[in-house]
């Protein structure tokens, strides 16, 4: 099955800094989602982005399906951005594969 690798595994930022999270996947995908899991465990949809670029406020995402990677950009980070960011591609059918996540801590 499809393999998903997220980097970096851990990231510490000073409030106001920018960052880029990367997701590599081993096969062609039909869709890809980015999620933020907050410290209480809630999974929040950030982007549904099988290809191209999307922006939502301070966050943006780009997926280059032909090269099998996706990037999540966080600008002007805030302490509320802390948590775990998951990339979840879907190659076919109903099975979605989650990466191990990037754990982000934003210091005040």
Q: What residues contact 103, with CB distance under 8 A and at least 6 apart? A: 9, 10, 11, 83, 84
Query: What's the DSSP call for residue 88?
Result: E
Looking at residues 49 to 68 of the shown chain, list those that interact with another protein (rule: CB under 8 A): none
Does 94 bind another protein (CB under 8 A)? Our answer is yes
- Least spacing, CB of residue 100 vs another protein, in Å: 5
Does 105 bind another protein (CB under 8 A)? Our answer is no
Residues that bind another protein (CB under 8 A): 4, 30-31, 33, 35, 40-43, 45, 48, 86, 88, 90, 93-96, 98-101
């Amino acid at each position: 099955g499809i393999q998903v690798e997220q980097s970096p595994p851990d990231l510490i930022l000073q409030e106001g800094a920018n960052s880029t999270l990367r997701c590599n996947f081993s096969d062609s995908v039909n869709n890809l989602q980015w999620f933020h899991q907050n410290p209480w465990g809630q999974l929040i949809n950030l982007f549904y982005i099988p290809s191209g670029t999307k922006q939502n406020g301070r966050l943006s995402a780009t997926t280059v399906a032909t090269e099998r990677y996706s990037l999540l950009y966080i600008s002007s980070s805030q302490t509320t951005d802390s948590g775990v960011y998951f990339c979840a591609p879907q190659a076919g059918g109903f099975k979605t594969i989650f990466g191990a996540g990037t754990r982000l801590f934003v210091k005040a």
